[in-house]
Structure 1
Amino acid sequence: MILAGFFTREEFNRTVLSAFPIPDRPTLANYKSLVTGTVTAAVTKYMGNTILRTVYSTLFAVLTSFLAGFVFSRLKFKGRGALFLVLLATQTIPLTIAIIPTYLEFARFPWAGGNDIFVGGTGILNTWWVYLIGGPAMNIMGMFLVKQSLEKVPIELDEAAKMDGAGTLRLMFQILFPLQLPVVAYIAITTALGTWNDFITPFFYTSSDDLLTLPGAIARLSSISSGAGGTINYPLIITLGLGNTIPAVLIFFFFQRYIVQGLANSGVKG
């Protein structure tokens, strides 16, 4: 991928690629496009959208996963076990099955995009609400890990905190939350990686160039990057793909120990 980025469109199309392709006339145009963008690919805008969406979804997933894990580990209510099993069962549903129902849900979202009880409209399709409402979700695996980890924290700690005057929120975020940092780190890293690489949401539920993330833009470049000769600019697509891959690789490389630590923290008694 690195070497392919030095090819021009024309030379790439007439070259039989090997494991280490070397262009006859190297160019930095594709790497400049990765930094500054092109007429057909506003890379800086796509990268900004990707970063904003990733940060928002990660914070949302961490918060909801911790709250749900706390509820299922500490609170007693009727149907708790059944509800927990239902949430776990959702993980067996392939993502592709939900694409069409999700699209219809967004399109029929009430009181948005012209929708009311009499006239249909576009709902929240092709708006930032796709990312704000439909994008983030509770990390079910994270919820499970938080629940398992909290169940290993003695309930006496909660009782001692309450005797000292701590309310529920203080107990949750000042006492229990710091104990779950390895699990929280796992949730944050896996959610960030999944959101960063997600192309389905922007590709299927948005059409505006202002809402595209980098993975969604790369998926569309096969049709919008064709030149006058009708050839696809594969070197540009490969270079943008490389730019999308590097941050994810760096995140995993530097934080992989937290992934292992988070899993171990929830599965090993201390």
Structure 2
Amino acid sequence: MASAIRVEQLSVGYVGRRVLHQVDTQIEANRITALCGPNGCGKSTLLRAMAGLIPADSGTVYLGDTPLSGLARREMAQRLALLAQFNEVPAGLSVYELVSFGRYAHTSWLGGLSGEDHDIVLDSLARVGLQDYAARELSALSGGERQRAWIAMALAQDCPVLLLDEPTTWLDIHHQIEVLEQLRSIQRERNITLVWVLHDLHQAASYSDHILLMRGGRILHTGDVESVMDPTHMKQVYEIDMLRLRHPQSGAPLMIPAHQSPLLDSPPR
């Protein structure tokens, strides 16, 4: 299987603190890969390094066969889109205007949006259920609605590689599932490479093809869902005993803490 992104001996640090330690990994093309692990393990840093937003202390990130350093910013924006975990809300900006920013890597420097660009913006809004919100000011939306607007902008960029840092942030469970299903459907339809950071292990197992488990700035386990979702791996990564069950409908592996709540030890009243 060809790789969409290849990371070789990548080390990254902030102000003298090492966050990633000689990471080696490959992201398979045209598949969905989840980055999972405890808080502070380096998931977001690795994602940002894959997008070329963080300089490496050492090592190389390749997009296809090309080092990121060999790509102009415009060319990179045509091939890779990133949705960050936290995004500032520009004052006075409408939802449509935000999503249209995703098209600028594909337009000429002097020209505006074409009819095709407008259609892609509207389709991206419809994909996340915001087609009736196009004229609204972004700052007037709820946190979950804003998150869906940012996702629409990433979709409008229409790249073969899409990186998403916790795309379900601010969303209730209904909209979490809706967005994950929409993104997986888009990935299948467009045959793109999708990499997302997810904290919910069940969601990662249900909607991803591959999982990378990280701890302490290193990748400890990587592979398909069945091989990675293992109690021994989870103990090593999360330092907690877990049980592996099966979802009664999908059959996807479920990892649940083995520890029983003290409340469950109390006799019913």
Q: TM-score when scaled to structure 1?
A: 0.21
> Comparing both structures, which one devotes a greater share of its residues to helix?
1
> Comparing both structures, which one devotes a greater share of its residues to strand?
2
Find the structure with the greater CA-based Rg. Answer: 1
